[in-house]
Amino acid sequence: MADILLLKCSNCGREYASGSVTYTCPVCGEVGTLDVLYDYAALRAQGDRDALAAGEASMWRYRALLPLDESSSVPPLAVGMTPLYDAPRLAANLGVAQAWVKDDGRNPTGSLKDRASALVVARAMEQGVDTVSAASTGNAAAALAGVCASVGRSPIIFVPASAPEAKIAQLLVYGAIVLLVEGTYDQAFDLCMELSIEQGWYCRNTGVNPFTAEGKKTVAFEMAGQLGWDVPDVVVVTVGDGNILAGVHKGFADLYKLGWITRIPRLIGVQAEGSSPLVRAWQNGQAAAEMQPVDAQTVADSISAGLPRDRSKALRAVRETDGAFVAVPDDAIIASIPALARLTGVFAEPAAAAAYAGCRQALEMGYIQPDERVLLLVTGSGLKDVRRAQQSVSGGIRVAPNADAARRALGIG
């Protein structure tokens, strides 16, 4: 296992002993999400990147770089080691030297958030905690519900009543206790935190629980390993609460500190125009602690957040890598669903397909250069929100059930 050296506030830099703080910095409050830091010299002495990269086909192949005792049980679902595709037609379409797609919609519940849930549940089991809770627009909740079901637990989930029906159904199928909150995601988040602290539940809430980013960082480990440790110039990540972006940055930063990669890719964070507080903060040189909530409105529910919970680490990820934030309109997000699918064969939900629209925007704005190699991180399956996929396409030719009708429709003899 990776022994935790300390927990460090991403906002003020205060350091805490492992186990002394459960969620965020006691001084900074919610904005002070914590970094989990390790003894990297000890890990360098113990670890062998090629040996790890040849391990089991799940995120647990990188268990030596995760904060779990080697004797602790982990959930049995095969989370992680999702495919990474070379996408030459996507590269030609975008006008870049090379492009890849990492399809994390192939995780057991259909999103990258299975990674965070798997690690949080493993830590809950290690510590003997019975009840795990979460607030979510759908994917984090589904991830927690599925992972908990695999170990015989029923989590308590707070989700906006407006979440896509398919996502709510997924929670109920897994046997979660689901509270449909008549309000926004941010209201559901706050309600979940209040009751979790009051009742002593272990809260998985994005960013607030420092181990969510530790689970999500495994996607960066996989990207690097699947590319032979020669990382791309740019990685494009869609952003709501900022925790996936923070996790990707943490993963590459860990590998860099270990000497396993020679540089950290530039990170481009993509938000929906109707939910883009991080874009504005980055453009205005604003600190995370100065950010104010916005009225988030977007079809991409998975990246809808009025005040991103992991905003401090998300801003740092872009600033430290000389990256950028871009905002894309909802119509471009919807159009990206079939565009990405037809160029790569990967069917993405709106929040994930937004990476394609964001990449195009970043190219137009000069944040990505034509001679660079670019990786798009697809965070969720298109089956998560089929209704939006239906809105993105039209067509289908109705014919009578005979060959002559089919020939006429196809214009063939």
pLDDT at 55: 86
Residue 315 has pLDDT above 70, yes or no: yes
Q: What is the pLDDT of residues 321-362, one digit of tens each?
A: 999 999 999 999 999 999 999 999 999 999 999 999 999 999
Backbone angles phi, psi at 352, to 5 degrees: -85, -40
DSSP label at 246? H
Residue 22 lies in a domain: no
Phi and psi at residue 242, to the nearest 5°? 95, 0
Query: Which amino acid makes up residue 395?
Result: G
The tally of domains found in the chain comes to: 1
Tokens 């000497």 label which residue?
A: 259
The pLDDT, as a whole number, for residue 1 is 65
Query: Is the confidence at residue 2, as pLDDT, over 90?
Result: no
Contact 380, 352 (CB under 8 A): yes
| DSSP conformational letter for 83 | -
pLDDT band at residue 50, thresholds of 50, 70 and 90? confident
Residue 286: both structure tokens together: 């604003």
**Confidence band of 48 (pLDDT split at 50, 70, 90):** confident
C-alpha of 47 from chain center: 26
CA torsion angle 272 384 123 231 (round to 10): -60
Kindly list the distances between the CA atom of residue 304 and the CA atoms of 34, 147, 287, 298, 331, in Å, as whole numbers in the listed order: 22, 23, 20, 6, 15
Residue 317, domain member (yes or no):
yes
Euclidean distance between CA atoms 391 and 112, whole angstroms = 24
Q: Could you tell me the pTM of the whole model?
A: 0.95
- pLDDT class for 47, splitting at 50, 70, 90? low
CA distance 331 to 328: 8
Whole-angstrom Cα distance, residue 232 to residue 31? 30
Residue 165 has pLDDT above 80, yes or no: yes
298 part of a folded domain: yes
In the block, tokens 């030459």 appear at: 88
Give backbone dihedrals phi and psi of 20, rounded to 5 degrees, phi first. Answer: -85, -20
Chain segment 384-400, per-residue pLDDT in tens: 888 899 999 988 899 99
Residue partners of 330: CB distance under 8 A and separation at least 6 = 272, 273, 274, 298, 299, 300
Tokens 């480990």 identify what position?
A: 221
**In degrees rounded to 5, what are phi and psi of residue 4?**
-70, 125
Whether 328 is in a domain gets the answer yes
CATH (domain of 342): 3.40.50.1100
Separation of alpha carbons 149 and 175, rounded Å: 7
Please report which confidence band the pLDDT of residue 103 belongs to, taking 50, 70 and 90 as the band edges. very high
Cα separation, 189 vs 205, in Å, equals: 7
Average pLDDT on 219-239 reads 97
Q: Quick check: is 162 in a domain?
A: no
Q: Choose among 151, 203, 155: nearest CA to 176.
A: 155
**Structure tokens, 33:** 């999400």
Q: Tell me the pairing of strands 266-272 and 234-238.
A: parallel
pLDDT for res 376: 98
3-state secondary structure of 136: coil
SS3 45: helix
Question: pLDDT tens-digit profile of 169-206?
Answer: 889 999 999 999 999 888 998 999 999 999 999 999 98
Does residue 252 fall inside a structural domain? Answer: yes
315 domain residue, yes or no: yes
The label of the residue with tokens 């037609």 reads 89
Contacts of 62 (CB under 8 A, 6+ apart): 52, 55, 218, 221, 222
Residue 275 within a domain = yes
Q: Give the C-alpha separation, 202 to 129, whole Å.
A: 7
- Mean confidence (pLDDT) of the chain: 95
DSSP assignments along 279-321, one per residue? HHHHHTT--GGG--------S-GGG--SS-TTHHHHHHHHHHT
Residue that is written with structure tokens 């192939």 in the block: 106
Range of the domain at 372: 84-110+212-391
